[in-house]
Amino acid sequence: MTPQRFIALAAFSSVILLPSSLAYAGHTRPAYLDGCQSMDGRFVVTAEPITEKVGKKETVKWKYHWKDTKTSEKHSGWLSGPRGLGHFDVTYGHLFMPPGGDTFALWLTASWAATDKKHPTGNQAKFDPDNVKHPAFGSRLTIYKKTGEILKKYDMCDLLQPKEWVYVNWVQGNLYWLMEYPDVMKGGEPARCGWRYYRVSPDYSTLEFVIGPNQDAIHKIKSEPKEVREHRRTVRVRLSDGVLLDADTKITDVNKIPVRPFCDALIKRGDAKGFQASLDPIRVSGKFVALEPQK
């Protein structure tokens, strides 16, 4: 695919424009749910926020749009898990389009899952058979058929071992349960909050993430034994069908080796406002756009 083709498609990336008056205090970064295209550029999936008003309360639901750019076949439907666009109901979401286009994946990194139930109290989780099944801990990774049916869904209780819940903590609308990759936390931070928590292969077929103490968990576990403080477990998932892969198996196909999920430069935290990711962030940089004025 030519660079011009990538740039043209990137213009259609899902982007969230937030009012300039919105405060970005505390931990919360600008909300987003980014789209993706297959490596060959043929298949594209994006997300659209739909605001619904029930009485005086407004809620955001997310609709996906899948397209085959070669045949113009299209599908749309509802996504489960993503939250809204506000400071305390923030969404950090990534859509992936693996080869073939028959399925796509939704990955939620550092935000709660949508639920009508009250969130767990406190600021740190511990393993409890009932508590870990709370829906706010759900919908981390969901594999959809292009027609909208859910093929596979992983909640946090499916991905975390009982001893790993000690690393789960939260501040405001942010839920931390993954370890940051150190190379994207030095000299700045990624323009997208979620990019610090995973690797993905250039063909968007393989997702990788690490379970261990994130930056917010480190001081909470400082009195724990060394094996708890230094725990690291790499997880890999095949994004076409949700199969868990052996993270120690050597991958020979360079297009299937998980890599840094963006090619953009690191930025200062405040500069994330107005950033629009491309549909192919591994190869194509995003761009900064003017925020829409508040109406």
- Residue-level pLDDT at 54: 78
- Residue-level pLDDT at 84: 94
Which residues lie across from 228 on neighbouring strands?
A: none
| SS3 letters across the chain | CCHHHHHHHHCCCCCCCCCCCCCCCCCCCCCEEECEECCCCCEEEEEEEEEEEECCEEEEEEEEEEEECCCCCEEEEECCCCCECCCCCECEEEEECCCCCCEEEEEECCECCCCCCCCCCCCECCCCCCHHHCHHHCCCEEEEECCCCEEEEECHHHHCCHHHHHHCEEECCEEECCCCCHHHCCCCECCCHHHHHCEECCCCCEEEEEECCCHHHHCCCCCCCHHHHCCCEEEEEECCCCCEECCCCCCCCHHHCCECCCCCCCECHHHHCCEECCCCCCCCCCEECCCCCCC
Closest CA to 286 of 270, 274, 269, 268: 274
Span 171-181, pLDDT tens digits: 988 999 999 99
Backbone angles phi and psi of 160, in degrees to 5: -100, 140
- Residue-level pLDDT at 292: 67
**Identity of the amino acid at 75:** H
291-295 long-range contacts, Cβ below 8 Å, gap at least 24?
291/17, 291/18, 291/19, 291/20, 292/17, 292/19, 293/19, 293/20, 294/19, 294/20, 294/21
- Residue-level pLDDT at 212: 98
Whole-prediction pTM? 0.89
Q: Which residue has the tokens 């594999």?
A: 143
- Residue-level pLDDT at 2: 39
**Token duo for residue 202:** 């250039």
Per-residue pLDDT of the chain in tens (295 residues, 90 and over written 9): 433 333 333 333 444 333 332 333 347 899 999 999 999 999 999 999 999 887 778 889 999 999 999 999 999 999 999 999 988 899 999 999 999 999 999 999 999 999 999 999 999 998 999 899 999 999 999 999 999 999 999 999 999 999 999 999 999 889 999 999 999 999 999 999 999 999 999 999 999 999 999 999 999 999 999 999 999 999 999 999 999 999 999 999 999 999 999 999 999 988 998 999 999 999 999 999 987 655 5
- Residue-level pLDDT at 88: 87
